[in-house]
Chains A and B, each alone.
Chain A
């Protein structure tokens, strides 16, 4: 190699090195680690305040916004984590994603000392159940969601239904049908339909699947008396006068308007019994007259079988720490702070996102913002609620159930649970497409 060529190579190498150090210098204006926290759009302002409060001298928490739909949130996080992205430090996770992500190796397991802080005796059982996978704790519950029966007191009165006592699905469907009322549910072909079916199957003492930690080899249990009991409720509502006009495509939002219709005559209703999440209270508080609001009642999720305790659905958000994060220790420290009682109380008061910690329910702010009996109902529902199947294949299980059980108008207790069981088995074994 000629000397001239050697010289030019050396110069090029020097230039490259200079550029690299220049870039590195740009990237490290401050040595303080920046933790990225991917949040979903609920309660952004409060979450920003929590991020600021939980930032310390050792690190700053930066908020990154995820898309609005749960499916898109899951896809975006999965894309980053599958690519072993080191900048995904903290993430807000829907409870059903925890098992999937933990099993994929995308979530850092919380060491015992941290785990005992984020899932202590103060955390409600239903919420605590959502963050464990194969005996390890993989996330910290930040807020919890649950469903209750929202109803018009006048409608229940007209039907002679004592809502102080546990009610059954049969009772509210009959009461609504006989009194010009309706029953609002989520029966479109989407995730919330699985939530409804799952809650009813759990309420009848069964499971959609069990031994879920076996992955594809999980046991499919939906073809059971519990599965048939759930199918009976759906079939009964589908053929009842209490069915809402958009029954087969109904979602969380569509039945809201039927509780206090602008024109009750035209809506043909005296209101409804609506199964819906906790946000309903704040929704009506701001949008209906005082008189109407005083007529709003709430009760525990209906029993599938009379005398057997219902298992209300559990939702909410858990905070996970990315397995490829450069600062997992700091991220866990941040997760502990982000899920403390102060943070959970703020989310509940400002945004109607209910606490996963029992002590938050006793705080003065919360007692002031909500009716105490409603707070107690939420607390008990979360404590005694039932999770959706915790499986690395949850998405497939959910889609397979929807595929057979939709349309709800075609659900037949004698056929649907069995068909659903066979299809689910085939899907898990890779013999059918979804």
Chain B
């Protein structure tokens, strides 16, 4: 560490000497120009975060503001020792893994279609992207109606299901309905990110592989996918973080019934329904930290894979 910081420090010390008066004046002007934006950012982002952190150490309830007390880490202890918290966390991770996995496969197929299509390219690309343009709450309602046993079409389309089957009555089917809505809504986003990755792969490379006699599958697994690792990582990272914060579909389709709550939904219930800002803030801090952990894990896993890929080649 000391080796790497020493040159940086030296460089830093040299800077004022190199700068001319004019450059310094420009720097000052620049700082003054961005200052309002920085202050605004601090007010709108740092303040609520610090306030949430502070509240998480109290038992503040909006309906009993006078009896608010500092309770130390007890909200965190309560959350982390409560089986409900771990149940919703497990649920959230389950939704994240299943939806991201399905979206990756389907999204990649869509990306290939969008990349290769020659005929009616504009219409095909647009129609694939339409679901992503729809507000999540609206798509939640649309799928809730689709799965309804009164006026939905899903039961009629599935021959092995009774028309009166209630999707939202038990955990398995309810969570499946939620995930279908989530996958339908965000697969286009995944395919958009993967399309960007596909576009970076040079045709020469694929042509060379073809000349060498590589089959379609070999070209896919040996040429296309290894060269898209960066794009795939970004796509998985973005979607996984998004999926971990899932809220709208659950809110609309089951309101958390049959054990389909996510961490975001549990936090919402504590803060908005119960007015318990103390424990609710602790949960939101835990949600924030777990999102960081998910991001860290994904970056870490992919780095290892990238390293391994390099050694192979």
Residues of A that sit less than 8 Å from B by CB: 71, 75, 78, 82, 100-101, 103-105, 189, 215-216, 392-393, 395-396, 399, 430-434
Contacts and interface: CB of A to CB of B under 8 A. Distances in A.
B273 interface: yes
Contact of A434 (B64, B269, B272): B269
Interface string B79-104: 10010110000000000000000000
A78 B79 CA distance: 25
A392 B61 CA distance: 9
Contacts of B275: 78, 100, 104, 395
Contact of B279 (A100, A104, A395, A433): A433
A392 B63 contact: yes
Contacts of B126: none
B274 A392 contact: no
A71 B272 CA distance: 10
Contact of B78 (A78, A215, A396, A430): A430
Nearest to B84: A433
Contact of B64 (A189, A215, A432): A215
Contact of A393 (B64, B266, B270): B64
Contacts of A215: 64, 67
Contact of B63 (A101, A399, A433): A101
A308 to B, nearest CB: 33
A433 B274 CA distance: 11
Contact of B61 (A189, A393, A431, A434): A393
A396 B272 contact: no
A430 B79 CA distance: 10
B297 to A, nearest CB: 25
Interface string B105-118: 00000000000000
Given A104-B64, A216-B64, A393-B61, A431 B273 contact: no
A71 B65 contact: no
A430 B67 CA distance: 13
A395 B84 CA distance: 18
Contacts of B71: 430
B272 A430 contact: no
Given A392-B61, A430-B278, A433-B85, A75 B272 contact: yes
B67 A432 contact: no
A249 to B, nearest CB: 9
Interface residues of B, number: 26
Contact of A100 (B59, B63, B78, B278): B63
User: What 3 pairs across the A-B complex have the smallest Cβ distances?
Assistant: A392-B63, A100-B63, A392-B64
B274 A104 contact: no
Contact of A78 (B62, B67, B75): B62
Nearest to A99: B63
Contact of B67 (A75, A189, A216, A396): A216
A396 B64 contact: no
A396 B276 contact: yes
Given A75-B272, A393-B63, A433-B279, 11 more contacts: A71-B273, A103-B64, A104-B62, A104-B275, A395-B273, A395-B274, A396-B274, A430-B279, A432-B82, A433-B270, A434-B269
Given A103-B63, A392-B64, A431 B269 contact: no
B65 A104 contact: yes
Contacts of A430: 59, 71, 74-75, 78, 278-279
Nearest to B276: A396
A82 B61 CA distance: 12
B82 A82 contact: no
Nearest to A399: B274
Nearest to B257: A189
Chain B interface mostly: helix
Residue from the set A216, A396, A433 with the largest chain B CB neighbour count within 10 Å: A433
Contacts of B274: 395-396, 399, 434
A399 B274 CA distance: 9
A434 B88 CA distance: 12
Nearest to B77: A431
Interface in B234-292: 257, 266, 269-270, 272-276, 278-279
Given A432-B78, A433-B84, A433-B266, A82 B273 contact: no
A72 B276 CA distance: 17
Nearest to B83: A433
A75 B266 CA distance: 16
B260 to A, nearest CB: 14
B203 to A, nearest CB: 55
B56 to A, nearest CB: 12
Contacts of A189: 257
B211 to A, nearest CB: 62
Contacts of A216: 59, 64, 67
B62 A433 contact: no
Contacts of A431: 78
19 contacts: A82-B62, A100-B63, A104-B65, A189-B257, A215-B64, A392-B63, A393-B61, A399-B273, A430-B59, A430-B278, A430-B279, A432-B82, A433-B79, A433-B82, A433-B84, A433-B266, A434-B84, A434-B269, A434-B270
B21 to A, nearest CB: 21
Nearest to A104: B63
Contacts of B62: 78, 82, 104
A215 B61 CA distance: 10
A103 B65 CA distance: 8
Contacts of B270: 433-434
Nearest to A82: B62
Nearest to B85: A433
Contacts of A399: 273-274
Nearest to A214: B67
A104 B84 CA distance: 28
B272 A105 contact: no
A215 B69 CA distance: 13
A216 B58 CA distance: 14
Residue from the set A101, A189, A399, A430 with the largest chain B CB neighbour count within 10 Å: A430
A281 to B, nearest CB: 28
Residue from the set B269, B273, B279 with the largest chain A CB neighbour count within 10 Å: B273
Contacts of B279: 430, 433
Interface string B35-67: 000000000000000000000000101111101
B85 to A, nearest CB: 6
Nearest to A100: B63
A187 to B, nearest CB: 15
B64 A75 contact: no
Given A430-B78, A433-B84, A433-B85, A105 B65 contact: yes
